[in-house]
Structure 1
Amino acid sequence: MPGSTNLPGIERYPNTDIVRYGEGEKVNYPLVASTIKKVNGVVRADEEQRLDGAWRRVIYLMPDGHGSDVGFRYFSDRLEKLSVKTLHSCEGRHCGPSNLWANKVFEEANLYGLDKDQFYLLGARTVDSHTEYYVLYTVRRGNKRVYAMLDQLIVDGVQERRVSPIASGFEGGLNASRKEHYWDVAVEPETGTIARQAIDKILAHLQQDSTTTILLAGSVPLDRDLKLDQQIERSQQYAQALKDRLIEENVANERLFVIGTGPLLQETATNAMPFVRVMRVQ
């Protein structure tokens, strides 16, 4: 695309094409740090901050055969190398409907894709006397095209970062929101698999404090064809599978507790799908 360029310090994924580029001053730019949803016809997020600043946007078309998860890992790794701290991230249906992200948050219709194949990250870093915010969103559309969007918002002054670090977990103080002390890890319903990124996130928090122990609470959507004890058993199997994965990564067994909750936690989830809630015990 003529006149387009990568964001400073972030190389594009090999063989991608830039299909959209924009820059300028943004007023009231939304920094979303939670699931988005529509309530009574109004799009809302429980955790959101709006700021003014210098803005850049790059949207890449990924090469054929390269998924939204691959693009997300690539660009999130580049952000980490720039010392960008993750304030919130989500994947799949736990992000909320893709059409809301595309049309209401980003105002980019081409980013409307499959809910299960979307990934989102909000991060920030302080550079000299200003704060740089980064937004990463990758998604696969129904036509199998995969897009990756990178936004940068540079705000004068060092911000307090009032956006709550929900997905980064255990950083809240005594007066922090309850949501800051847990996050949900999506489970692929058909295979029961959990994304590598989710495993890495848990490992990172356990490494920050060697005394931390966590509770893994499995949850499944309500199934009226199964007895309650069967649903609880199934949800515990998901949690146990995650525990086994963490033990394979050399996490001590005594730091992990497992429980099955059946469909109980689904009341606090945005979408009906299996997940494991990761909660700090101490």
Structure 2
Amino acid sequence: MRLSLFFCLFLSPVVLADDLPGSSDLPILPRFAHAEIVDYSDAADVERRYPRGELRRISGQLRVEREVLAEGRLRALTYRLPDGHSPSEALAHARKTLLDGGAQLLYWCEGRECGSSNLWANALFGNAKLFGPDERQSFILLRLAEPQQNSLLALYGITRGNRRVYLQVEQLDADQAVADQLPTASTLLRQLRVHGDLKLPQLSELDTQWSELLARTLNLDSTLRVSLTGPQAEAWRAALVEQGVRSSRLEAGSGGAAGLQLQSLP
């Protein structure tokens, strides 16, 4: 029922009478129902540094543990969402739509885990409308699927102190190939907790970097048990045990889709 509600809340790309003149939605992402575009830009040769960790300022300099750097065409939209809705609703649907379409989630943070909302609003996006309480923010960064694998999609949502809700959506189409980036362990753990599963179709063979990352992910929550399915499920299970995950937390099954899939167990 809840998922159906999300689909009802979204519309095909459309221009509303209250939208900023000359603005338009991104073709890849339909807008939240009754949301209006309040800021819009479309520019070539823009450089963006998207954080993959807490955003903070140290000695006057913007600092982040990990980031994705890209340059190219940047389309940026700021939506005001209708009263009574939260940015998490919009982000939840966008996340599911894009992941089902093959996009890779590189980073996902919520609340104070993201760092300072003031820095996100003013230092990163250059839009004071996006400033609000740190605990009411959320951010996701995705790399789109082929043939748009050199495009990044960033979404930042905030509920301001006056209860107005804004959603920043940016698509950067890079001029150069975007370097491969592994998701953060905290992002993968959040996916498992919220969605209940983690689909990794690209992992058709055992990969050392990914086995280390998945082990770090599972060891962030020692109570989490998962099943592994896919052609190499037994090999992945053995690799995770070797990386320090207790064998009692892992079940391996046969069949399933290509690659590797993790599913949380009760």
How many residue pairs match? The answer is 202
Counterpart pick for 1:254 among 243, 248, 255: 248
Partner-residue secondary structure (3-state), 1:35: coil
Which whole-Å CA distance do the structure 1 matches of 2:93 and 2:52 have between them? 21
Which whole-Å CA distance do the structure 1 matches of 2:148 and 2:198 have between them? 28
Which whole-Å CA distance do the structure 2 matches of 1:215 and 1:29 have between them? 32
Which whole-Å CA distance do the structure 2 matches of 1:206 and 1:159 have between them? 19
Partner-residue secondary structure (3-state), 1:10: coil
Query: 1:123 is matched with which residue?
Result: 142
Query: 2:44 is matched with which residue?
Result: 25
1:130 Cα offset (Å): 6.0
1:110 Cα offset (Å): 0.4
Give the alignment's Cα RMSD to 1 decimal.
3.2
Shift in CA distance, 156/129, structure 1 to aligned 2, threshold 3 Å: farther
Counterpart pick for 2:107 among 79, 85, 88: 88
Give the TM-score of the pair, scaled to structure 2.
0.66
Shift in CA distance, 51/65, structure 1 to aligned 2, threshold 3 Å: same
Query: 1:165 is matched with which residue?
Result: 183
- Can you list the C-alpha shifts for 1:5-43, whole angstroms capped at 9, x where unaligned? 110121101111111111011432112211111112211
Which whole-Å CA distance do the structure 2 matches of 1:87 and 1:14 have between them? 27
Partner-residue secondary structure (3-state), 2:144: strand
Give the TM-score of the pair, scaled to structure 1.
0.62
Counterpart pick for 1:203 among 194, 197, 200: 197
2:68 maps to a residue whose letter is: Q
Aligned residue runs from structure 1 range 259-274, under 5 A: none
Partner-residue secondary structure (3-state), 1:90: strand
Which whole-Å CA distance do the structure 2 matches of 1:62 and 1:205 have between them? 30
Shift in CA distance, 28/158, structure 1 to aligned 2, threshold 3 Å: closer
Which whole-Å CA distance do the structure 2 matches of 1:116 and 1:201 have between them? 22
Which whole-Å CA distance do the structure 2 matches of 1:183 and 1:57 have between them? 24
1:81 Cα offset (Å): 3.7
1:96 Cα offset (Å): 0.4
Query: 2:74 is matched with which residue?
Result: 55
Which whole-Å CA distance do the structure 1 matches of 2:76 and 2:138 have between them? 17
Partner-residue secondary structure (3-state), 2:24: coil
1:203 Cα offset (Å): 3.0
1:13 maps to a residue whose letter is: F
Query: 2:35 is matched with which residue?
Result: 16
Query: 2:172 is matched with which residue?
Result: 153
Query: 1:215 is matched with which residue?
Result: 219
Structure 2: which 5+ runs fail to align? Answer: 1-19, 205-210, 228-246, 251-266
Which whole-Å CA distance do the structure 2 matches of 1:129 and 1:116 have between them? 33
1:199 Cα offset (Å): 1.2
Structure 1: which 5+ runs fail to align? Answer: 170-181, 186-194, 218-238, 248-252, 257-282
2:116 maps to a residue whose letter is: P
Is 1:114–2:133 an aligned residue pair? Answer: yes
Which whole-Å CA distance do the structure 2 matches of 1:126 and 1:184 have between them? 18
- Can you list the C-alpha shifts for 1:209-242, whole angstroms capped at 9, x where unaligned? 9x9773355xxxxxxxxxxxxxxxxxxxxx76xx
Query: 1:100 is matched with which residue?
Result: 119
Partner-residue secondary structure (3-state), 1:65: coil
